Amino acid sequence: MKPRSKFTGELSRRTVLKTGLAGAAGLVWGSPWARAAETGASPARAKAVIQIWMWGGPSHLDTFDPKPAAGDDYCGPLKNPIPTNVDGIVIGELLPLLAKQADKYSIIRGMTHRVNAHETAAYMVQTGRKPGGGIVYPSVGAVVSFFKGGQGKDDLIPPYIVLTESQGRFSEAGFLGSRYKPFATGGDPKQKRFAVEGIVAEGISDERQKSRRELLGRLNTLQNALTGDPRLAPLARAESQAYDLILGDARKVFDLDEEKDELRDRYGRGTFGQSCLVARRLVERGVRFVTINYKGWDTHKQHFQAMRQKLPEMDKGMATLLEDLAGRGLLDSTIVWWSGEFGRTPRVQWEAPWNGGRGHYGNVFSAVVAGGGFVGGRVVGASDERGEEVKDRPVYPWDLIGSMYALLGIDPNATLPHPQGLAVRATPSADEGYESGGRLVEIM
């Protein structure tokens, strides 16, 4: 079947495929807008972000803002917080490994937005915007992917990846469109083989992948009848990209067998620990934004049992991640951002039906940032003696996000391309009426 070509002036399919492999690769995942934002930005210190998304809202009192003096009704059984390797910083007793890494991160204890509903709070913390006003804003990851995607050394790998499932509760890409949605890996990195959805197919050998691909090429009758037709070039390019991931070297970034057992153990062999390890590998390969979607923090009931089970796992994974990033010289260029959509009620709900639970709490909560230009070993702001209100130095989600953009070399006032041409800034501008505690200049 010799295909005929009528598009003599156009690129041949072969050329298209070749450029698909090299030059144009970034255009598939990345962004033609890349660099547009750099004009008004300070030079980038951070290249990447690892977001540990504490889905459901973790208790600030039981993690990074303990209040032992507030008594049983606030602390429950966790009333013996521990010192860290930084004088004066004390954190929850279930985080002994993180206590040894406190010089690497700073704790923001005055986070606030006063919203107690998951959807709205998650939207605010991850987009830096309040809902409403007829605009659906993109998440930080989509914005970073928009400005920085396609500039990495390995453009084959998507610039914005979520481990392992998308959040579902809001559209990460917002008005930027589905192109800027994160690539959700699916699968589970704790399994023997991390079956990354679409890239690693269980039960199909490379041999069969190759022979299938050849079969597809031969039976692709419309594609062959339209050889050289520019209308089908984007499909061919996307396909060639996909196969570079399925059969090429890039997929090895997901292969944890390349890591030493000892290190894998240190991260913790559960899904979270191994996700932290994958995140480090992705950042090492030039991925711009990795979200670890860490579920299970919406602890209305059996709160303290959940903390005893989950916090050691979090402690292991996150502490090893910080240590490992630092050991490889990656922490200087990688922001680690730990936060949920809110904290949890400081006062324990002992009554039925909660029987020792904590509810949603947006008045004050904690976030942790490390690396990428953020100074470690500091505490920013404070909550009051019972962790119920901001006492000192409020930080709103947009303050934190604007600080990260600044470190990433993204102008917080840069314009995003709204489909109806509305002038939308990366972060709220002064005249939009957002309360603000200002950027985190004290740790930048």
Partner 1 sequence: MPTTSVGMAPRAVFLFIAALTLAVASRATAQEARPPAGVFENGGEPTPAGKIDELVFARLAKLGIQPARVCSDAVFVRRVYLDVLGTLPTAEEARQFILDRNPDKRRALVDRLLGREEFADYGAMRWCDALRVKSEFPINLWPNAVQAYHRWIRACVQENVPYDRFVRELLTASGSNLRVPQVNFHRAMQGREPRALAQGAAMAFMGVRAESWDDDRWSGMEPFFARVGYKSTGEWKEEIVFFDAGKKIAPGAAGSNKAVFPDGTVAKLSENQDPREVFADWLISPDNPWFARCAVNRAWCWLVGRGIIHEPDDVRPDNPASNPELLAWLERELVASGHDLKHVYRLILNSRTYQLSPIPRSDRAEAEANFAHAAIRQLDAEVLIDALCQLTGTTETYWSAVPEPFTFMPADQRAVALADGSITSSFLEMFGRPARDTGMVSERNSRPTAAQRLHLLNSTHVRRKIAQGDLIRRAVGPGRNPREVIDGLYLAILSRYPTPEERRIVAEYAQTSGLPRREAAVDLAWALINSAEFLYRH
Complex with partner 1: residue 83 or 133, whichever CB lies closer: 133
150 binds partner 1 (CB under 8 A): no
Considering only the stretches 8-16, 52-60, 328-336, 426-434, report the one whose residues sit in contact with partner 1 under the rule CB under 8 A. Answer: 8-16
The interface with partner 1 within residues 324-383 (CB under 8 A) comprises: none
Binding mask 227-266 for partner 1 (x = CB under 8 A): --x-xx-xx-xxx-xxx-xx--------------------
Complex with partner 1: residue 71 or 168, whichever CB lies closer: 168
Distance of alpha carbon 333 from alpha carbon 402, whole angstroms: 17
Is residue 418 within 8 Å of residue 173, measured between CB atoms? no
Instruction: Quote the longest CA-to-CA distance of the chain.
Output: 82
223 binds partner 1 (CB under 8 A): yes
DSSP conformation class of 137: P
In the list 28, 86, 108, 380, the residue contacting partner 1 (rule: CB under 8 A) is: 28
Using alpha carbons, select from 362, 370, 317, 330 the residue that is nearest to residue 344.
Answer: 362
The interface with partner 1 within residues 90-119 (CB under 8 A) comprises: 119
Report the first-to-last Cα separation within the chain, whole angstroms.
63
Size of the site for partner 1 (CB under 8 A): 69
In the list 420, 430, 431, 441, the residue contacting partner 1 (rule: CB under 8 A) is: 420
Complex with partner 1: residue 137 or 267, whichever CB lies closer: 137
Nearest distance in Å: CB 143, partner 1: 17
Nearest distance in Å: CB 219, partner 1: 5
Nearest distance in Å: CB 7, partner 1: 5
Complex with partner 1: residue 216 or 263, whichever CB lies closer: 216
Using alpha carbons, select from 112, 108, 45 the residue that is nearest to residue 442.
Answer: 108
443 binds partner 1 (CB under 8 A): no
The interface with partner 1 within residues 383-412 (CB under 8 A) comprises: none
Complex with partner 1: residue 3 or 77, whichever CB lies closer: 3
In the list 12, 15, 85, 169, the residue contacting partner 1 (rule: CB under 8 A) is: 169
Nearest distance in Å: CB 220, partner 1: 5
Distance of alpha carbon 15 from alpha carbon 404, whole angstroms: 40
Distance of alpha carbon 416 from alpha carbon 175, whole angstroms: 9
Considering only the stretches 34-42, 86-94, 225-233, 430-438, report the one whose residues sit in contact with partner 1 under the rule CB under 8 A. Answer: 225-233
Considering only the stretches 47-55, 145-153, 165-173, 403-411, report the one whose residues sit in contact with partner 1 under the rule CB under 8 A. Answer: 165-173
Q: Give per-residue burial for 321-346: e unless 16+ CB within 10 Å, then b.
A: bbbbbbeeebbebbbbbbbbbbbbbb
Binding mask 170-209 for partner 1 (x = CB under 8 A): xx---x-xxx-x-xx-x--------x-xxx-xx-x---xx
Residue 421 falls in which region: left (phi positive, over 0), alpha (psi -120 to 50) or beta: left
211 binds partner 1 (CB under 8 A): yes
Considering only the stretches 46-54, 128-136, 283-291, 380-388, report the one whose residues sit in contact with partner 1 under the rule CB under 8 A. Answer: 128-136
In the list 327, 419, 431, 441, the residue contacting partner 1 (rule: CB under 8 A) is: 419
Complex with partner 1: residue 56 or 92, whichever CB lies closer: 56
Distance of alpha carbon 95 from alpha carbon 401, whole angstroms: 26
DSSP conformation class of 177: -
CB contact set of 277 (below 8 Å; sequence gap of 6+): 189, 256, 259, 263, 264, 267, 320, 321, 324
Q: 3-class secondary structure for 357-423?
A: ECCEECCCEEEEEEECCECCCEEECEECCCCCCEEECCECHHHHHHHHHHHHCCCCCCEEECCCCCE
Q: Is 434 exposed, middle or buried (0-12, 13-18, 19+ CB in 10 A)?
A: middle
Q: Are strands 183-184 and 160-163 parallel, antiparallel or unpaired?
A: parallel
Q: Give the phi and the psi of residue 334 in degrees, each rounded to 5.
A: -125, 120
Distance of alpha carbon 259 from alpha carbon 178, whole angstroms: 33
Nearest distance in Å: CB 228, partner 1: 9
CB contact set of 329 (below 8 Å; sequence gap of 6+): none
Nearest distance in Å: CB 434, partner 1: 18
Using alpha carbons, select from 372, 282, 374 the residue that is nearest to residue 329.
Answer: 372
Q: List residues binding partner 1 (CB under 8 A).
A: 1, 3-4, 6-10, 28-29, 119, 131-136, 158, 166, 168-171, 175, 177-179, 181, 183-184, 186, 195, 197-199, 201-202, 204, 208-209, 211-212, 215-216, 218-226, 229, 231-232, 234-235, 237-239, 241-243, 245-246, 419-421
